[in-house]
């Protein structure tokens, strides 16, 4: 006979859902970011979100007036998404791509903007993703993915796919903690502008690869 007072053992998925919900309530976006780093350290470049100074400098070269599609790889909790949306025109779009389903769920809950789409997928599939959303090419693609720690072959595949996905005159915006990231861009982009931002934790290299 079944005991009506017996407690069933909660599943691992139920436990993780409760932990995620509690983390979001207590720590907000910082908690989600830290949890994402712990869960996927290879795909998240830092345990601390990008600084306002880094965001301003990284986005400074963007020609917002002529931007119709902006794509971001590894949006995390939307540190760049919100500033990008503030600059985009009313008919432009932002597509954020992340392999971390927790981040995608968080972004869809927190950002209510008809111009914004969060996609659970790989940056290497950017061409297929933008095509699925009715676009031929992107004007700008932003990435904070840690190229040097990605699995073998993934970094070069992302750089190649990004070059193909950009329109002529568009740019690949990359911020990294190691200068080696430039090597991935150099295989496809002949013009690469560079800078360095000290006001970030940790300080990082900035690259803008322009498509001829």
Q: Which tens digit of pLDDT belongs to each residue from 76-87?
A: 889 999 999 999
Tokens 């995608």, located at residue: 104
Coil vs helix vs strand at 40:
coil
- Flag whether pLDDT at 44 surpasses 80: no
CB 168 within 8 A of CB 137: no
* pLDDT for 45: 47
Does residue 29 register a pLDDT over 80? no
User: Tokens 């568009």 identify what position?
Assistant: 170
60: domain CATH number is 3.40.50.150
Q: Report the C-alpha gap between 199 and 170 in whole angstroms.
A: 27
In a domain, 5, yes or no: no
What pLDDT is stored for residue 43 in this prediction? 45
Q: Per-residue pLDDT tens for 101-133?
A: 888 988 999 999 999 999 999 999 999 999 999
Residues 6+ apart with CB under 8 A from 188: 159, 160, 162, 163, 209
Residue 48: the pLDDT is 63
Residue predicted with more confidence, 29 or 111: 111
**Residues of the domain holding 132:** 52-210
State the total domains in the chain.
1
Per-residue model confidence as pLDDT tens digits over 132-163: 999 999 999 999 998 888 889 999 999 999 99
Which residues make Cβ contacts (< 8 Å) with residue 83, sequence separation at least 6? Answer: 55, 59
Which stretches within 47-100 are classed as H helix?
52-59, 81-87
Average pLDDT of the residues of the chain: 85
Q: How far is CA 161 from CA 59, 60, 76, 85, 129, in A?
A: 21, 24, 21, 24, 11
**Model pLDDT, residue 121:** 96
* pLDDT more than 90, % of the chain: 64
């Amino acid at each position: 006979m079944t005991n009506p007072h017996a407690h069933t053992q909660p599943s691992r998925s139920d436990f993780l859902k409760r932990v995620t919900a509690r983390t979001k309530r207590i720590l907000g976006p910082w908690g989600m970011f830290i949890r994402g780093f712990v869960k996927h350290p290879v795909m998240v470049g830092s345990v601390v979100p990008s600084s306002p100074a880094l965001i301003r400098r990284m986005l400074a070269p963007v020609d917002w007036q002529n931007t119709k599609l902006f794509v971001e790889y590894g949006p995390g909790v939307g540190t760049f998404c919100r500033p990008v949306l503030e600059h985009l025109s009313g008919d432009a779009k932002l597509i954020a791509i992340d392999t971390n389903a927790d981040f995608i769920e968080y972004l869809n809950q927190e950002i209510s903007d008809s111009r914004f789409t969060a996609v659970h997928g790989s940056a290497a599939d950017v061409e297929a993703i933008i095509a699925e959303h009715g676009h031929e090419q992107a004007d700008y693609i932003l990435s904070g993915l840690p190229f040097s720690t990605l699995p073998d072959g993934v970094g070069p595949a992302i750089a190649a796919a990004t070059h193909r996905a950009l329109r002529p005159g568009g740019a690949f915006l990359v911020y990294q903690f190691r200068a080696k990231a430039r090597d991935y861009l150099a295989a496809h982009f002949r013009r690469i502008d560079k800078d360095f931002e000290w006001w970030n934790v940790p300080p990082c290299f900035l690259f803008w690869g322009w498509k001829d």
